[in-house]
Chains A and B, each alone.
Chain A
């Protein structure tokens, strides 16, 4: 993905920007005016209670969910504007879900090869090369010909990460990727995330792993009832929270 797309890109802004984003499901407002900027190369962790709107925000960032107000810009492109090519935009925003969503009818290798082939138009050989590289990277080099049903949850989740990385995205969104895993499998997925952060990947990490968030993040945002209550360096938000909501939340999870 070079910056050589079509004309009207506003300069070289490489970042995700949310401006007063509002999102409702029916009469339930889940995002009540969220503003946020994530610079390229940054790791942002988003913490907060269930139902606070964290996951929904990720879905809105790559246009899987529509928004009712505000604006989301990715590299200066308005995600929710009429005429935005979402399929193209999504190529640069990888997302990994809580339920890893492996494609059960494809082998591990095929899972990762599919999008590079069909979306990026890579040849079979190129796609296979990319897939093998990414799968090896997340430690699944031995599982290429296996179907996902034969993998553990942690392995499936790592496969999902490799699948997203195979599109060489500029940004990665992680939606509570360890929440559905057995406790003994959480570590292997967190290790993979840590590795990515050390490689300089831009990441937004919705997570309940507070200690992990403190370790890997450049900034932490605390979400509560559809709003960001605190945002800043981990030592500040997690180490020395100011708002009573943040203090209560951290007390309940740590």
Chain B
């Protein structure tokens, strides 16, 4: 029945290339998180804003990001924008797509986090003469980040795994892209993708563990 012979040696020889790809994947994940977090703060504020336009824009973004496939979102930043004459590079399109997704999910997490901080904190800050933006930035945000830290870690892992969608928009420098190139050249599908899976797994674990360490260092209170 089984007439597939495993060839691990050539697959292992490609390991340095794959690790190089893993680094690109990690880079996209990190960048998409940084961008996503910044936008998510604004979207979270927009979701509780009385300004109809701001609220509508934020709600639309969050709804789209959370209720459509991530693949669709990446397609939109590449082919979708492409049909309007805005042709993003594969790397940028993937980054934008994942950042869009991150922002949508994190916005809701942040909104919950913001609600958990008593209004009296802002009041105390304002009573000391801080402006509203100062009170938000210096008192509310730092406390929110502690509350949402673990959900953020999840999103970071999810972002890393989403980078594998890059292959659908022609990216061949990330881990999946490199693996796919090796695959079409050799047809050692199982070996290459098994190794890729292990690398993804280890990277995801690395993110979880390092964030735990980070939290322990950061949140001393």
Residues of A in contact (CB 8 Å), total: 27
Query: Does A97 contact B129, Cβ atoms closer than 8 Å?
Result: no
A88 adjacent to B129 (CB under 8 Å)? yes
- A-chain residues with CB within 8 Å of residue B220 when the two chains form the complex: 147
B48 within 8 Å of A (CB atoms): no
B residues 115-158 in Cβ contact with A at 8 Å: 120-121, 123-131, 134, 138-139, 142-143, 146
Whether B146 lies near A105 (C-beta < 8 A) is yes
**Any chain B CB within 8 A of the CB of A13?**
no
Given contacts A104-B221, A167-B128, A167-B129, contact A118 B121 (CB under 8 A): no
- Of A88, A103, A119, the residue contacting B124 (CB under 8 A) is A103
Q: Is the CB of B120 within 8 A of A97?
A: yes
Q: Are the C-beta atoms of A114 and B120 separated by less than 8 Å?
A: no
Is A64 an interface residue, CB under 8 A from the partner?
Answer: yes
- Cβ contacts under 8 Å, B128 to chain A: 90, 114-115, 119, 163-164, 167
Chain B hits for A97, CB < 8 A: 120, 123-124, 127
- Which residues of chain A have C-beta atoms less than 8 A from B126's C-beta? 64, 87, 90
Q: Is the CB of B134 within 8 A of A104?
A: no
Q: B221 touches which one: A64, A147, A164 (CB < 8 A)?
A: A147
Interface residues of B (CB under 8 A from A): 120-121, 123-131, 134, 138-139, 142-143, 146, 219-221
With contacts A101-B124, A105-B146 known, what are 15 further pairs, Cβ within 8 A? Answer: A64-B126, A87-B130, A97-B123, A97-B127, A101-B120, A103-B125, A104-B221, A105-B221, A115-B129, A118-B130, A119-B129, A149-B221, A163-B128, A164-B128, A167-B128
Q: Which residues of A contact B (CB under 8 A)?
A: 62, 64, 87-88, 90-91, 94-95, 97, 99, 101, 103-106, 114-115, 118-120, 147-149, 160, 163-164, 167
